[in-house]
């Protein structure tokens, strides 16, 4: 998080898929539905493997604020309720962005997020979250 002229400014976040994934783009609502367990597939009907970074990653709080408008404690509470009721499980956390890039390069049905645009041309950005 950056502070510019007395106000907080958030970085952009890149929702990324494998380059061969047929999904060209997604709306913010569609991405929210995947990352919050409300949907298990891409809008075209293909199954989605949703990958996340750890909740204690320095960018996670800003990512979820940009995605949902919620604080990290609200996100954690949401997932606690869903997991307790057996309704859904949170996205699979990966240790860092390097691991995210590597797993998305191997999984055409994977989706994840990065704090920087992917430099690897085997990955494609389908949505940029801006605050």
- The tens digit of pLDDT for each residue in 22-78 reads 999 999 999 999 999 999 999 999 999 999 999 999 899 999 999 999 999 999 999
Query: Does 5 fall in a domain?
Result: no
Contact yes or no for 17/111 (Cβ under 8 A): yes
Return the pLDDT at 85: 79
CATH of the domain at 23: 3.40.190.10
Query: Does 6 fall in a domain?
Result: no
Query: Does 97 fall in a domain?
Result: yes
Structural domain range at position 125: 11-129
All residues at 6 or more sequence positions from 1 whose CB lies less than 8 Å from its CB, including other chains: 8, 9, 10, 11, 62
Q: Is the pLDDT of residue 3 over 50?
A: no
pTM: 0.88
Query: Does 3 fall in a domain?
Result: no
Return the pLDDT at 72: 93
Query: Does 1 fall in a domain?
Result: no
Query: Does 120 fall in a domain?
Result: yes
Q: No. of H helices and E strands in the chain?
A: 4, 7
Q: Is the pLDDT of residue 4 over 50?
A: no
| Overall number of domains in the chain | 1
Q: Is the pLDDT of residue 114 over 50?
A: yes
């Amino acid at each position: 998080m950056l502070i510019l002229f007395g106000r907080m400014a958030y970085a952009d976040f890149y929702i990324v898929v494998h380059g061969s994934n047929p999904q060209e783009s997604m709306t913010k609502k569609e991405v929210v539905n995947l990352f919050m367990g409300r949907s298990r597939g891409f809008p075209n009907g293909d199954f989605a493997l949703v990958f996340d970074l750890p909740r204690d990653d320095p960018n996670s709080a800003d990512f979820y604020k940009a995605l949902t408008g919620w604080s990290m404690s609200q996100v954690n509470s949401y997932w606690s309720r869903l997991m307790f009721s057996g309704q859904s499980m949170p996205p699979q956390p990966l240790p860092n962005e390097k691991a995210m890039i590597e797993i998305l390069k191997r999984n055409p049905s994977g989706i994840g997020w990065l704090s920087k645009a992917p430099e690897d041309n085997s990955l494609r950005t389908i949505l940029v979250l801006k605050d």
